[in-house]
Amino acid sequence: MIKFFVLDLDGCLTYPFETPDWQSITRIRELQIQSGKDEFVPALSLCTGRPLPYAEAVAQWMGIRDTIIFESGGGFFHPLTNKLTWSPHFTDDIAKKSREIRTWFANDVLPQFPGVMLEFTKHTDVGMVHTDVEEISKVYEIARGKIEAEYPEFEVHQTGVSVNIIVKACNKVSGLQFFAERNGIPADEIAYIGDSTGDLMALDWVGAPFAPANAIKEVRKRSRVMNGEATMGVLEAYQTIITDNRTRK
């Protein structure tokens, strides 16, 4: 039986730079609250490449009570205890290289793309965002070339609005593994929904992988694909999990 449903944010629970689908989000939140008294409704958590302030805010208005994963597995935060933990894979040497990458990007890449901005408050990875998909794709190619040539400990992922340079060992799988160990549950009791390249390994690891209709082709191949896009897809997946849990009982 699935005990936790872990959500990616951009492209799943929300569309970045767009007004949220508050009606669907409200229903998802209602189910999350119900999970505290109904064993068939899994509790929610988050696993996102976004920085802590954004992830914490979403966790609060979703009523999430368990550890959330941010910066793609680089950090962990418990909304009730305010305990913040950084991945043990983020060593001093890796931190130094992360600062080097950030400096390179700020000095050499940003001037070429005035509309692109670094994500504020990030600690373990380097993220940049823009509303123009074409601009993001150009930044991705530049970042990938640099990282593959000079920083083998890192990898680069692209979404429709962002590029994330993350530590290979601080990915969403390592984050989910930490989450599972902390909660004392196996992978097959966790469901996850994702939409982009950074979610692929996480979808392979969990017991129940889901994707909204807007997910990229590689994600859809590995997941149970919903009819709805983004928030509607998350709600549909949540309802599917609950139905499956009741059926298994």
Quickly state the pLDDT bin for 153 (edges 50, 70, 90): very high
- Residue 26 makes CB contacts below 8 A (sequence gap 6+) with none
pLDDT higher than 90, residue 159: no
**pLDDT above 90 as % of the chain:** 91
Quickly state the pLDDT bin for 202 (edges 50, 70, 90): very high
pLDDT higher than 90, residue 220: yes
pLDDT higher than 90, residue 53: yes
pLDDT higher than 80, residue 249: no
How far is residue 60's CA from residue 200's CA, in Å, rounded to a whole number? 27
Res 15: pLDDT: 87
Number of Cβ within 10 Å of residue 118's Cβ equals 15
pLDDT higher than 90, residue 140: yes
Sheet holding 84-86, edge to edge: 68-70, 75-77, 84-86
Averaged pLDDT of the chain = 95
Number of Cβ within 10 Å of residue 152's Cβ equals 9
Number of Cβ within 10 Å of residue 91's Cβ equals 13
Strands (E), the chain: 4-7, 43-46, 68-70, 75-77, 84-86, 117-118, 126-129, 154-158, 162-167, 190-193, 208-211, 224-225
Res 16: pLDDT: 83
Res 46: pLDDT: 98
Sequence spans of domains, the chain: 4-88+170-248, 92-167
Res 234: pLDDT: 98
SS3 for 62? helix
Predicted confidence (pLDDT) per residue in 55-100, tens digit: 999 999 999 999 999 999 999 999 999 999 999 999 999 999 999 9
Mean pLDDT along residues 125-141: 92
Res 35: pLDDT: 97
Number of Cβ within 10 Å of residue 127's Cβ equals 23
**What fold, for 4-88+170-248?**
Rossmann fold (3.40.50)
Mean pLDDT along residues 111-119: 91
Q: Does domain 92-167 have CATH number 3.30.1490?
A: no
